[in-house]
Chains A and B, each alone.
Chain A
Amino acid sequence: MIENANGPIWRLRNRRETLTRWFVWLLGIAIFLWCWQQISDATTWFFVWDAPNIASDILGRATPPRWSYMDNLWVPIWDTLNIATLGTIGALILAVPIAFLAARNTTPSTLFIRPVALLIIVATRSINSLIWALLLIAIIGPGVFAGIVAIAIRSIGFCAKLLYEAIEEIDQSQVEAVTATGASRWQIMVYGIVPQIMPAFAGIAVFRWDINIRESTVLGLVGAGGIGLQLQASLNTLAWPQVSLILLVILAAVVISEWVSAKVRGAII
């Protein structure tokens, strides 16, 4: 009896669900096809059919890399390292107070200050460092300094977000114990909270430094210093052997920085 009564309802619900599911799939495919249509319309297909030839042509020109150009790259590599490192340091200096203002358990005001801090975090995080670089170049002129500031601003949101999550996850009883000794607000911060978030902080710093090395290699494309400047110049003159050398250097930088950051994080944790 009960099974009979339940049976139809169960099938009906399932049929409706199946229909909805088909409809969603259909809609999804339609949207995708429309998107593809848009891309297709904006593409000159003649070039695309010619792409294999062009690709092999470029590859032919780009090999072997022009190793002697390396002499011109040491300074840009140094600049790139500085952009990433100084940018990360700057970002951390700014991210720490913002993280404390954004964390629920340390913010002075949940109603006014916390939303502002969260807004800063979202705004700096959702805009790519290349765009920040564009903006800063328009404001303070091209060069390494614009790159450093761009990396710093871009990293604030990332670092502050991870840091405030770490602050919200601390063991509250340790803070309570320090409070009970009669410590002041700042002393509680230094003794109760900071020691608990130090490992997270170090991990975030190294992690972000690794990402920043990657990002600073291409900042030069828009004129913000570093090895990207040489890449842009070589591309403009179609000096493919130099381009391939620079790409190899960037690849090496990325691999090395990832290795360093993995090692350091392993040592911390």
Chain B
Amino acid sequence: MSAYAKGETHRTLDDLLGTRWRRPPLVQRAWLRWVLLVGLVVYLVAAISTVEVNWSRVYEGLDRGGAFVMAFAQPDFVSRADAIWNGMVESIVMTVASSVVGILISIPIALGAARNIAPLPVYLVCRGIIAVSRALQEIIVAILLVAIFGFGPLAGFLTLSFATIGFLSKLLAEDIESMDRSQAEAVRATGARWSQCIEYGVKPQVIPRLIGLSIYRVDINFRESAILGLVGAGGIGATLNTAFDRYEYDTAAAILLIIIVIVMALEYLSGLIRARVQ
């Protein structure tokens, strides 16, 4: 060891002494490094230069921004109390209904989308549904559904149910695929039918996770329900939009505060429930 150290590296040590040391670059190939760096700078310059900012408008807006921040100190829950109350109830109603329906539908689809228990044709169909649901944002689905079903919470309800299916089925299917095989096999070895395999082999392992994910999704559904009203699909969003249009910042602040409080409460609740289930 020491012979090697003295014979082989002493020469390099003499070479190294007096030379500067540089941290080896993240990208080893020099040309690639420069291409990336120059590309990044060019992109940033191009991007920033195409952003048109009307600074005088922004400057004027600062007052309104200040007014809005001040509005948070004195939110107005009263003058539009009816609209806020109705919008909130509608948001919550949509959240609850769509979560229930979405969860119920997502369970069979999750089973179908798990490669280890579903036959290939079923698997492909279910994965297709999931892919479509995840690729389309809620707000776009809502626009289409409003066009088809007319204004109102039904469109919002259907939107959120559809989104819930994509979200929940995918995560649940991944859980089923990665679960402990030996337990399911042990049940199957007793000669159980497919439904019994699901009941005794799959269900006990997946239920806690299902509950956790469902609660998380309820949380998301509520947040999303707050914006669906912007396109006419029901909920508090319409009230909020009106408040902004009329520059009623104190009412807007009140609505935002309510949303924040409910989201915090839901997060706290979901933490409690998940801790109890797991």
Contacts and interface: CB of A to CB of B under 8 A. Distances in A.
Q: Are chains A and B touching in the complex at the 8 Å CB cutoff? A: yes
Interface of A: 28, 31-32, 35-36, 38-40, 42-44, 47-48, 51, 54-55, 58, 78-79, 81-82, 85-86, 122-123, 125-128, 130-131, 134-135, 137-141, 143-145, 148, 214-215, 217-218, 221-222, 231, 235, 247, 250-251, 254-255
B64 A138 contact: yes
Contacts, number: 143
B244 A135 contact: yes
Contacts of A251: 135-136
Contacts of B62: 139
A237 to B, nearest CB: 13
B40 to A, nearest CB: 10
B96 A130 contact: no
B140 A131 contact: no
Contacts of B154: 39-40, 42-43, 48
A39 B95 CA distance: 11
B65 A214 contact: no
B42 interface: no
A39 B93 contact: yes
B51 A86 contact: yes
A250 B140 contact: yes
A98 B147 CA distance: 42
A58 B148 contact: yes
A61 B266 CA distance: 42
Interface stretch (B105-113, B168-176, B178-186, B224-232): B224-232
B127 to A, nearest CB: 15
Contacts of B43: 85
A131 B57 contact: no
Interface string B131-160: 000011101100110011110111001000
Nearest to A134: B244
A78 B57 contact: no
Interface in B73-92: 89-90
A128 B136 contact: no
Given A138-B244, A139-B64, A141-B58, A130 B139 contact: yes
A134 B47 contact: no
A192 B94 CA distance: 48
A15 B148 CA distance: 49
Given A128-B224, A221-B231, A79 B135 contact: no
A49 B256 CA distance: 36
A208 B143 CA distance: 25
A140 B57 contact: yes
A87 to B, nearest CB: 11
